[in-house]
Amino acid sequence: MGQWVAPAGVYMRKAAIRNGSIGNAEIAGSLQSDNYAEDADGIPTEGVKIDFRNDVVKLAGPVISRNIEAAAGSFWTGGPITVNPNSGLYQVETWELVETGLQVPVDQVWMASNKTYLAYAAFDGSATAPGGISGNNEYWGCKAEVLPFARWNGPQQLYLRIELWAKGISALHRSGNTTLGGKIHWKLYEVT
């Protein structure tokens, strides 16, 4: 009659623990420092807050930095790529809308994103130069750009624009076989 049975333990609605320790605890909501404060946009201005429900850590001041490889891939260039060795440094080839497969929420492509991505690409192959390679005046490499373009239908994803640049060479091809194209390797990093 009117009895309540609970497992052994201490039960309270609020508690303050100063200079103590808690072992093997389970926290359901969030944990924050005494001085935690946010501005009107939810950006921390002081202290630290850990939100366990949304997997968010908010810090004011200290910066925790890590790179996450969000996606990676490669593709063959087709055949060898002819380059004009007398043109100086120029853009030899471009691949538009390279699919990364990294699906993102609609608000990441239709509005300003709260994440930052960095793309890197490289040409895997060899080069030929008129009269041989001197080692000092021949250059080739890739530039990669993240394109957060929206699609009308279907899932949203990030795309890449990859440019191949060269100077002082006459062709780019597969290592060991001048009749085949090389390979473009790319990586997409989420950076903070």
Max mean pLDDT among 20-29, 49-58, 121-130, 146-155 falls in 121-130
pLDDT digit string, tens, across residues 116-133: 899 999 999 999 988 877
Domain boundaries of the chain, sorted by first residue: 1-62, 67-191
Q: How confident is the model at residue 23 (pLDDT cuts 50, 70, 90)?
A: low
> What is the three-state SS of the chain?
CCCCCCCCCCCCCCCCCCCCCCCCCCCCCEEECCCCEECCCCCEEECEEEECCCCEEEECCCCCCCEEEEEEEEEECCCCEECCCCCCCEEEEEEEEEEEEEECCCHHHHCCCCCEEEEEEEEECEEECCCCCCCCCCEEEEEEEEECCCCCCCCCEEEEEEEEEEECCCEEEECCECCCCCEEEEEEEEEC
Structure tokens at 48: 């630290």
pLDDT digit string, tens, across residues 161-173: 999 999 999 999 9
d(CA 147, CA 160): 5
The whole-number average pLDDT for the span 7-33 is 71
pLDDT digit string, tens, across residues 65-106: 677 899 999 999 989 999 998 889 999 999 999 999 998 887
d(CA 41, CA 59): 14
pLDDT over 90, % of the chain: 43
Structure tokens at 42: 């939810």
